[in-house]
Structure formats: structure tokens, C-alpha cells
Amino acid sequence: MEKMTRVSTSNGRTMFCHLDAPANAISVCRDATQVVVAGRNIFKIYGLEEEGFVERLNLRVGRKPSLNFSCADVMWHQMEENLLATAATNGAVVTWNLARPCRNKQEQLFTEHKRTVNKVCFHPTEVNMLLSGSQDGFMKCFDLRKKESVSTFSGQSESVRDVQFSIKDYFTFAASFENGNVQLWDIRRPDRYERMFTAHTGPVFCCDWHPEDRGWLATGGRDKMVKVWDMSTNRVKEIYCVQTIASVARVKWRPERRYHLATCSMMVDHNIYVWDVRRPFIPFATFEEHKDVTTGIVWRNQHDPYYLLSGSKDSTLYQHMFKDASRPVDRANPEGLCFGLFGDLAFAAKESLMTAPQSVGDVGRKTYPGGDRRYPIFFFKKPDVTEQFAQVSSALSVFESEAGSGVGMDWFINTAQSYLLSGKPFAELCEHNAQVAKRLNRPQESTTWTMLRIMFSEPANPSLSTNHNLNKSGNLPLVNSFSMKEMSAALNERNKENRQDNLHSLETNLNNNDENEETEGSEGQAEYLFGDAELDDDDLYSMEHDNQAAEEPEYLLPQEAFPLRHEIMDHPSAPEPVQEKPESPHVSGSETESTCLTPMESFSLISVSQLLFSPHLPPKFFCPIVKEMLCYYAEQGDVQMAVSVLIVLGDRIRKEIDELTQEHWYMSYIDLLQRFELWNVSNEVIKLSTCGAIMCLNQASTTLHINCSNCKRPMSNKGWICDRCHQCASVCAVCHHVVKGLFVWCQGCSHGGHLEHVMEWLKQSKHCPAGCGHLCEYT
């Protein structure tokens, strides 16, 4: 018989047919040639042909179909091919005999259950034994030769969701319950279950005995899990657990495949999955044909693992071919990568990729090119084979950040703490931040700050300039060296410009020096210049024209403004003289140090006079570049830089960048800061931000709940009097007045008062000012 059925199903195809109504359950007859579909409004038998399903019989007969036809479950007898049993939603258990000559095939009707019957099950080897499980918490065993149940099993008022006879043990059956329990019963002992264990949280919708392994029971529950239990031992042991994405409505072991089982879900998810229980994270195969939840699944033949039948709420009946199933494993990414909390990195991949030690090293190196200074150097720790599957085995490697190089984000924390964002003049802020960046070995950021200062400093403040003009020439090498080293593509353009600027400045420097010699007369002359600026300016410019004949005179004016202003405003940067000397050849033309002191004043005069021509052009001119730079930093993941610059520049740049981007940057930075627990910095950033959405972050969740110190009840009212005990809460223990400002109290005795009062008191005494005798401790 077995052989014959195998032959008969050796070929076939995925096929389906429409039913008239949603199905609740399906069952297949022993020789796998017919399938019965049952539902609230359907009860039909279909023949399984090569070409498709053929309707054989409609069991729903009669003018007014009774609720006995409204089936929650159906089962075809596996011994007697004419015998069917259904569980009706009204609590009836009905058996049907297809051999009956009349249209109505109903044979017997048992109405002993008071609530919906969820499950019926024939004994696998005993012809006349039928078991039912109902919502009313009872399981009943029927002998089909009698009119009534032969025994009743009580689940102690918990609803029964599934009952299954053990395939191997003649007398045993399992029942699953709505409260998450599974019970094992001996059919001969209706008074008490053999054993019970809690399998799931929430209802256990289904269970299924393993067809070969005597002790294995699979259960599926509303908690979205499928668990496999080993019953053969003294204590029931969970041996496998599969996590699905929706509550599990049915579970069926796959024939001939020891570790495979099929599941479908009760809600939301319409697919049928076949799992290898040893690989619980990804389905072995998926059938995705149904458009609504699948309500019944059954393997077509007990010995054929390739055909699966399923009925669904979408009113279709499908035969799925295993070869047509989709295999999620094939589409899954076989490598995994994840950062740990402390900068560790875990990397899992197929073992074949990771076997040779050299290749492992390569992987490590590939992931972390040593060039990037910001990441710590990783080294290979251990190849750790964690999971050994039938199909795949993967290796997991953990790369630890090298000890000493620290967490890897130290630079971030340091920077966040050291940057100044407000409270000083713009130039000083830039200068400070540049120093910070430099100290942390981040030359690019450092240079950026310097550049910003150069670009946006206001050319006022001649007084400042005179203080520092000794150092002024030192700026040139700094800027120049930056332009040489800078490799970043995004900044290249600007670098070029800068270099041009520098060239100009060099030239003008030379010019100025020449001039200096000319104007080197007296200070009185300088004053004269002040008064009669225009004339002198003309003179100056004409001189320069000679030097730079190639360029148009009108355009030269603003261009000259930069270098000159550089000269004046650059001084705060004040690089160390040590560095200065070897790099100074650039400035060689200007024998500055000695000459500068006196002529400087004339410099400043010149710059002031030039402001008359182009006071606001330069900062605006730089805005697009700065904007580009900020975007560049943000894209590089250094949102810290972007936000810091944004704050320091303030109005100079804000209008250039759209609100949303700014908000986005702020949010990311604040989020980062908070992850590193830099609350103060994060708060400062929030405070300094100009986005409405950010500023209101500070106003969220500022509620403070207070309990009355007398009656220990929450203070619901505003004000100082507790409305339960009608006393003033939070009274100062020293002066006995209500504290309306800072209130400090001892956590031991909860007495306290005005901060200053308590401080004074504690100078005199260690005991509580309230006189409670407590030795108060304040930190």
C-alpha cells in the first residue's frame, strides 16, 4: 500500500481551486486521493487529480443548514476511509459516513460539549475511538459504537485548543490549553492527567506528535513560538524553539524529515513555513500563495515529504509542491556584522570564507584600513565556531579594539567637552577650538577652525592687532602648510583659493614692506593718512597695480582687502615661534619683526579705509563654501564638527542652510552626546541652537512630582500647602519658613531646608536641625 501511494504521487504540480467560502480546516484521506474542506459555510470533498482538484461531494445538505455543519475542525479517519468527524462551533461532535446511501451522510451526533469544540481526533490505530477537545474545558472520548462518550477528561475549566493521540503510545494523548499548559493523559485514567507542563505564555493553539520519535511533541502558541518537547525523560525538556513572526495556528511535522515541521499563523501572516528546528532563525522553505490567513495545513501523504495541502480564509485550496517553495536561506545575507558597545566588532560569515588564518587576517585588514586614524586598530581575537547546522556552518569572529587606544570615540568626548561654543568673541572661539582639535591630533578640523576665523573675522578692532603684530607673520606658514597637506577632495577648491589668497598676501606683504619704508617717517604722518585717506589710498593702490598688472584694477580692490585683513586679524592664532622659524622661508621677503612694529598703524588705517568700499562682501562670499564644508563633515559622520561650526558661526551661516538639515544635524549630535552621557554639553547645544524644534527639547518632561513631607502623599495641587494634611510641605527645618527656592534635604531623615541655612547649621552641629536626632549626611 505504501509503495503504491508513493508511486501515485511521484509527480504533480502546484495547483489550487476556489472554494465557495473560507475554510477552517482540511484533512486528507489515507490514500491521499481525496481531501475534505470544512468551514463555517463549507463542507466538501475534493478529489486530487493530476490536473487539479475535482469536487466530489458536498456534505452540506438540507434546506436550512444547521449549525452542526459549521465546522471548526475536521478529521478523516486514517483506518476507515469512509469515516469523517467534525467539530462544530456550537459544541456538537458529528461523524459522517460516506458509505451511507442517502444524501445526508451524517451518522452520529454528540452534543455533550457545552461550548465550541475546537478539535477532534481519531485514534491512529483503534477504529472506533474518537477524541474531542472543547472550549468548555473538557475532553471527551467517544466510542463510535455507542451513543455517548465513554469518558470525560477535565482540564480544570481551561479551554482546550488541541488534542492529539500519540502515534506510538497506544494509550497516550496530549492536550493543549488556552492558559499555556500542555497535559498528557492516559486514555484509561480520566480522573487525572499523567503530567502537565507550561509550554507557552498565552494559549497553545496546536500540538503535534513526531511521527517517528516517540517522545517528541511540537507545540505552537499565541506567543509566536514553536517549541519541541522531549517527553521521554523524567522532566519534560524543551529541545528546540522556533520564533516565528505571528501566532502559530497549526503545526505539522514533515514526513520523512526528522527535523522539519510546517507552520501557519492565525493572524496577519499568510505564509506557510517549513522549518528545520535546528535552524530556528530562518525558515527552510516558504509557501507564499495564500492571500489571507492559512487555516489548515496537511501533508498529503504520511510518507511523502513533497506535497503539502493547505486551506485558507481566502477561499482557496492549494496543493504546494516542495520544489516550488521559495527558500529564504538563499536570499539571506550570509554575513553579519555588528559593533559592540565598547567598539568591539563581531563578524560572522560562512566558515569556508574564514578557514585559513591568513584570509582571516585579510578580512580584518580589509574592514579596517589602517589609514583612518579615528578608528582604533582592531586585531583578530578568536575564530569561534558557534553554530553548526546541517546545511551551513558559520564562524563568528570578534575583533576587539586594542587596549590603550581606548573606546574609539574618545576624541569625540574630548572634543565635545573642550570645544567652546559661546561666551567669547568669535575669533577667540575659533582659535580655542582650533587648538583643541590640534591637541587631539585632528589637523583637518583644526585647520578648518583657523580658516573659519580668517574668513569670518570682522576687520574691526585695530587695537587688538597692535598688541600682537609681532606674531603676524607666523600665520602665513600655518596657512600654507595646511594647503599643502590637505587632501580632502571637498576642500580642494577652497584650498586653491586660499593658496591664491596667500600668494596675494605674500605679494602685498612685500608691497607693504615697501610702503612701510616709504611711510616710515613719523607717526604724525600716519595721522595725516587717517584724515586724508582717499588720496593716500589711491597712492597705495597705484603702487600695487604696478605689481599686479595682469588684473583689472576695479576687481583688485576687494581682493586686496582679504590679504590685508589677514595680516591684521590673524595674530591671535600665534603659533609657536619654534615652528615658525624653519618654515618661515615663505616670508623671507619681509624682514618683518623689526620693521613691523611701527608701520603697523598705517596698516590698520589702510584696512579701515578699505572697509568703506566693501564692508560685507567677503563673509557672504565664503558662505557657499562653508556650507559645502559643513555638509561634507556631516556626511562624513562628523556631525559634531558641523554643529559646532554652525553654532559658532551663528547668524553668519544660518540662513544658508535650510532649517530641516540644521535640525537633523542638531538632533543627531544631541543624540550622540546623550549616548555618551555628556548631558551638560548636550544641554548647552540645545540652548545655543536656533531651531525651534531643538530648543523645545529642553522644555519637554520637566514635570517634577512632589510628595508631601508630612503625610507622604503626592502633592497634587500647585502651591505650598498639602491638601490632605493641610500643612505646609517643604518647610525649612532651621527657619521654619516655606522653602521656595533651592531645597536641600538629608536622605536619611528627609529633613532639610534652605541651602544656606542648612550649610550654616552643619557648621555648628552634625545633628539634624529638625531635632530628630539623625546624624545627617550631605554630600
Q: Which residues bind another protein (CB under 8 A)?
A: 40, 64, 66-68, 70, 72, 88-91, 111, 113-116, 135, 178, 202-203, 205, 222, 246-247, 266-268, 270, 291-293, 703, 705, 713-714, 716-718, 723
Cβ atoms of 46 and 54 within 8 Å: the answer is yes
Minimum distance, C-beta of residue 6 to another protein, in the bound complex (Å) = 37
Minimum distance, C-beta of residue 297 to another protein, in the bound complex (Å) = 17
Sequence-distant (6+) residues with CB within 8 A of 276 are: 259, 260, 284, 389, 390, 391
Percent helix, strand, coil in the chain, to 5, is 35, 25, 40
Choice between 294 and 397, CB closer to another protein: 294
Minimum distance, C-beta of residue 90 to another protein, in the bound complex (Å) = 4
Cell representation of residue 337: 556584522
Minimum distance, C-beta of residue 697 to another protein, in the bound complex (Å) = 13
Cell representation of residue 448: 578648518
The DSSP call for residue 664 is H
CA distance 449 to 434: 5
3-state DSSP assignment of residue 502: helix
Minimum distance, C-beta of residue 717 to another protein, in the bound complex (Å) = 7
Choice between 203 and 459, CB closer to another protein: 203
Closest listed residue to residue 346, CA positions, set 408, 401, 410, 282: 401
Cβ atoms of 387 and 394 within 8 Å: the answer is yes
CA distance 151 to 371: 78
Minimum distance, C-beta of residue 722 to another protein, in the bound complex (Å) = 12
CA distance 38 to 87: 10
Residue 225: exposure state from Cβ atoms within 10 A (0-12, 13-18, ≥19): buried
Choice between 266 and 491, CB closer to another protein: 266
Minimum distance, C-beta of residue 674 to another protein, in the bound complex (Å) = 18
Choice between 201 and 674, CB closer to another protein: 201
| CA distances to 408, 498, 760 from 380, in Å | 17, 44, 60
Query: Side chain identity at 170, as an amino acid letter?
Result: Y
Minimum distance, C-beta of residue 66 to another protein, in the bound complex (Å) = 3
At 379, phi and psi to the nearest 5?
-130, 155
Choice between 10 and 717, CB closer to another protein: 717
Choice between 294 and 604, CB closer to another protein: 294
Question: Cα-Cα-Cα-Cα dihedral of 59, 62, 65, 66, to 10°?
Answer: -100
Find the DSSP H helices in 325-456.
328-331, 351-354, 357-367, 410-418, 426-439, 443-456
Minimum distance, C-beta of residue 497 to another protein, in the bound complex (Å) = 44
Choice between 246 and 772, CB closer to another protein: 246
Closest listed residue to residue 199, CA positions, set 158, 154, 153: 158
Minimum distance, C-beta of residue 115 to another protein, in the bound complex (Å) = 4
Choice between 54 and 696, CB closer to another protein: 696
Choice between 136 and 445, CB closer to another protein: 136
Choice between 586 and 724, CB closer to another protein: 724
**Which stretches of 281-374 are assigned E, i.e. beta strand?**
285-287, 294-301, 304-312, 316-321, 336-339, 345-350
What is the maximum alpha-carbon separation in the chain? 134
